[in-house]
Amino acid sequence: MSVRRYLQGSLLLVLALSLTDCNSPELVSIAVTPTAQYFTLSPGLTVQYSAIGTFDQGNHPKTTQDITDEVTWKSNTPGMVTINATGLATTTGQQYGSSIITASMNGFTGLIQATATANVCAPGEVVSSSGCSAPSSSLSGAK
């Protein structure tokens, strides 16, 4: 009789432990894209940032999903670049430099954050997909 109770209790314990590994998925990290964006010094230029969350669920494989509309977006320099609740960043045309864009959401270990940059080039600089640079000077006709 006591062996039977022991086996029943052991089975219940194994079942309970296996079910705890199948709990709700928990956010463990966020990735923001694009990681860097470059703008001319003009008001109203926009870029859409997106946030992809990685979720862990016990012994199950990690999964990812778009959480752009679920994270909290913030610009550390709203005088240069603002960002709305859906991740749309807009230049103000008032300042140039680099702004850190942050996406944050509560996750398994507390607040999970990821960052990207929005760079507004100084007046006269040339904007490319890889950065801001001084305009090239041509010395044609010089001997």
Please report whether residue 96 resides in a domain. Answer: yes
Kindly report the pTM of this predicted structure.
Answer: 0.77
pLDDT of residue 41: 96
Q: What's the domain count of the chain?
A: 1
State the SS3 of the chain. CHHHHHHHHHHHHHHHHHHHCCCCCEEEEEEEECCEEEECCCCCCEEECEEEEEEEECCEEEEEEECCCCCEEEECCCCCEEECCCCEEEECCCCCEEEEEEEEEEECCEEEEEEEEEEECCCCCEEECCEEECCCCCCCCCC
pLDDT of residue 4: 54
Please report whether residue 44 resides in a domain. Answer: yes
pLDDT surpasses 70 at 123: yes
pLDDT of residue 13: 42
Summarised one tens digit per residue, pLDDT across range 38-71 is 999 999 999 999 999 999 988 889 999 999 999 9
Q: What is the CATH number of the domain that holds 100?
A: 2.60.40.10
Please report whether residue 29 resides in a domain. Answer: yes
Q: Which domain holds residue 56?
A: 24-133
